[in-house]
Amino acid sequence: MKFFRIKVLICICMLQNIVHAQTIKIDGTYTLDMTEYLTITEDSFKLYLYAAYPLFYGLNFGDTILAEGKVQYESDNFIKLTSKNYEWETKKNMTIIDSIVSYLNDSVRFNFIFPFDGKYKIILYLGNDNESKVRYEFKDRKDVFLPMHKDSILTFSFIILNQTPIEYPYHNSLKNVQFSSFRNTAKNNNSNFFEIYIPDLTNSYFNRFLINGEYIRVGKEKNVLFWHNEQYWKFSCFR
């Protein structure tokens, strides 16, 4: 019986190796035209715009990455692209500092600090449950003074919405439209000044191309990819 189990395990390992060998991963750069090109390095991808175009699509100066994320190999003929979680990546570098300032007698101050310079709306919720939550909205303002809650500010959450009109749509693609976060508890129950630093909330954040599990057909010998009814040809000069 023990010998039989060993033989089964060996067969399973051999089958897994055969399947892995049959799925040859992609490593190369595929260009559509003089607007964009797609680089795939085995399990990850980046979709680039050529240097003349990023500002038209709202990216930061010097940023040419329109999208990036992971690649899954569905078969020899199809791969699936999924964008990284841009909101989670941005939250990792966010910091919130709360303090007590004497000049705020019966109010609380929130100061949002982020580099995005388009039009936006901030929705701020004070309170820790649906019954006690108070909602405030303000447009294109990062520094606000609000009435202090009688029970002090223990918890708050916020949503920052991009409200900049899109001038140059990209393949009718989805983009990040908001950034949201929740603060559990202030360090001090009497805190009345909150500074929220979000260094990665940039113009690029709101203009990344969101790819939610899109399939790409792989041509013979992996020299062409079929995506968005277009052909992306492998460009050997990049490698």
Q: Are 153 and 192 in contact (CB under 8 A)?
A: yes
The per-residue pLDDT for 104 is: 82
Q: What is the dihedral of CA 120, 126, 130, 132, to 10 degrees?
A: -150
- In sequence order, the 6+-apart residues with CB closer than 8 A to the CB of 161 are 120, 121, 122, 123, 177, 178
Q: Are 10 and 17 in contact (CB under 8 A)?
A: no
C-alpha–C-alpha distance, residues 65 and 69, integer Å: 11
The per-residue pLDDT for 17 is: 46
The per-residue pLDDT for 3 is: 45
- In sequence order, the 6+-apart residues with CB closer than 8 A to the CB of 95 are 196, 197
C-alpha–C-alpha distance, residues 30 and 195, integer Å: 44
**pLDDT tens across the length of the chain (239 residues):** 444 344 434 443 444 444 444 567 899 999 988 788 999 998 999 999 887 777 778 899 889 999 999 999 988 889 999 999 999 999 999 999 988 888 888 888 999 999 999 999 999 998 766 566 889 999 999 999 998 765 556 688 999 999 998 776 666 678 889 999 887 666 667 788 999 999 999 999 999 999 988 999 999 888 999 998 899 999 865 44
C-alpha–C-alpha distance, residues 179 and 206, integer Å: 9
Range list for CATH 2.40.128 in the chain = 24-85+209-238
The per-residue pLDDT for 235 is: 80
Fold of 24-85+209-238: Lipocalin (2.40.128)
The per-residue pLDDT for 9 is: 40
The per-residue pLDDT for 186 is: 60
75 CB burial (10 A radius; 0-12, 13-18, 19+)? exposed
Q: What is the CATH architecture assignment of 94-199?
A: Sandwich (2.60)
- In sequence order, the 6+-apart residues with CB closer than 8 A to the CB of 107 are 145, 146, 147, 148, 192
The per-residue pLDDT for 54 is: 73
Range list for CATH 2.60.40 in the chain = 94-199
Pick from 24, 26, 9, 82: which is nearest to 224 by CA? 26
C-alpha–C-alpha distance, residues 48 and 149, integer Å: 48
